[in-house]
Chains A and B, each alone.
Chain A
């Protein structure tokens, strides 16, 4: 009999305690979720600003357009091969071989583009690599520097005698002949020429847009020694 009053006296107190804990837990949960979601957004804002994102969107649109063109070309190629017409495969393979030889710099090529002249002393292999990369990013499809054909993979490096392309020292002035979309390349060349003129090592940097330039230099084919096609 004596336990009962104690028991009835403790129940409201325990219940109130549990309720308060539950409420506190709920408040903490809501606040944490809210704050964490805000923190996530804040964290992602630190990574890239809105302007950079806008540029990224533009780049991705361009990239996706290029991929769409590639898909259309490949689909048309597949249709030609599926047609089973006599000689269709040979035509496709011949044209693919010519295209790849041009891409790999194995044959002389021509087309619209720009010619850039840089007269300087002290420019390094890194300067030339950056220049070539800028032009490639601007849509260059074929590049020649002082009669040496260049594609990604052709060694450009620094030697005691200056900048070497595939083992041959290439002394300034450099004449860089580029084939590609003349409008895009013209913009790139203009920006590059402005930057180069601000460089104390550069005596002169000019460019001209041409409707047709010829690149006669070629890269000699090098068979794989280590790589095995899968």
Chain B
């Protein structure tokens, strides 16, 4: 190959590479020019991710502390019958408050987002929202559930649901989004019958037709629920 050929090839390569970078840079600049919204957005996303990591870490620590306390109480109970009786009472109360893992017969309910329709404008009816989860949980409790967990977050007597479109916040947990799995342990037959009843969960059923929102359920002879791993504080209530 002559030196002239080699030079022309190198020139071609440099020009093509530069063209590629210029093109990509131009596209990027056009996406970003209106404001620095992407950079700001990324900073917000980073904050959320850091806070979620802290949240998960705190919940792990809380679960570990509860385990250690349980072991210490067990040691104390082994030394005194009175303490043992007290511990039995507290264990039962903890189980009912959702602080203890339980298993038994029950149902699994799966909820998934549907699809936005062509003429729905800005509506978000195709997204699973916190009211959908709240409605299913309430129905299950009304029909014999003794314990419920949503995406492995245990429901307690003080549980609250919140969030915005497509985002479900349960107590102090990070937001959850579709797919959502609700597991309830309790009277399996009653719960399945209620979920099968077309008059129940009217909001979800209407959107199943309109947006192909997805809801399926199945009974099972043995399901497990994890213990609650967040804060269960009451600071304003005192026994009357």
Contact = CB atoms under 8 A, between A and B. Distances in A.
Q: Are A and B part of the same complex? A: yes
Contact of B103 (A75, A142, A228): A228
A68 B58 contact: yes
A45 B178 CA distance: 17
Contact of B62 (A47, A67, A154, A181): A67
Nearest to B144: A226
Contact of B101 (A56, A112, A229): A229
Interface string B46-86: 01100110110011011001101100110011001011001
Contact of B102 (A28, A54, A67, A228): A228
Given A23-B12, A35-B27, A103 B97 contact: yes
A59 interface: yes
Given A38-B31, A133-B134, A228-B104, A61 B51 contact: yes
B141 A152 contact: yes
17 contacts: A30-B21, A57-B47, A61-B51, A63-B173, A67-B230, A70-B232, A74-B65, A81-B72, A89-B83, A93-B73, A112-B236, A133-B134, A152-B155, A152-B157, A153-B157, A180-B237, A216-B240
Interface residues of B, number: 108
A71 B2 CA distance: 76
Which of A56, A126, A180 has its CB near the most chain B CB atoms (within 10 A)?
A: A56
Interface of B: 1-2, 5, 9, 12-13, 16-17, 19-21, 23-25, 27-28, 31, 37-38, 40-42, 44-45, 47-48, 51-52, 54-55, 58-59, 61-62, 65-66, 68-69, 72-73, 76-77, 80, 82-83, 86-87, 89-91, 93-97, 100-106, 131, 134-135, 137-138, 141-147, 155-162, 164, 166-167, 169, 171-175, 185-188, 224-225, 230-240
Contacts of A198: none
Given A61-B51, A73-B233, A230-B100, 6 more contacts: A31-B23, A63-B171, A66-B231, A100-B96, A221-B96, A224-B146
B9 A55 contact: no
Chain A, interface residues (CB within 8 Å), range: 35 or more
Contacts of A66: 172, 230-231, 233
A194 interface: no
B173 to A, nearest CB: 7
A3 interface: no
B55 A63 contact: yes
A141 B159 CA distance: 10
The 9 closest A-B pairs by CB, nearest first: A89-B76, A63-B172, A136-B160, A34-B24, A151-B157, A27-B20, A155-B142, A70-B231, A137-B160
Contacts of A98: 239
B186 A227 contact: yes
B55 A60 contact: yes
Given A35-B27, A71-B61, A112-B236, A97 B86 contact: yes
B231 A90 contact: no
Contacts of A48: 167
Contact of B158 (A23, A47, A152, A224): A152
B51 A30 contact: no
Interface stretch (A9-17, A115-123, A169-177, A200-208): A9-17
B12 A20 contact: yes
A38 B32 CA distance: 10
Nearest to A20: B12
Nearest to A62: B172
Interface of chain A, helix or strand or loop or mixed?
helix
B27 A38 contact: yes
B1 A141 contact: no
Given A16-B5, A129-B134, A81 B237 contact: no
B13 A23 contact: yes
Given A70-B233, A152-B141, A229-B102, A41 B42 contact: yes
B72 A44 contact: no
Given A69-B231, A89-B73, A104-B157, A109 B187 contact: no
Nearest to A93: B86
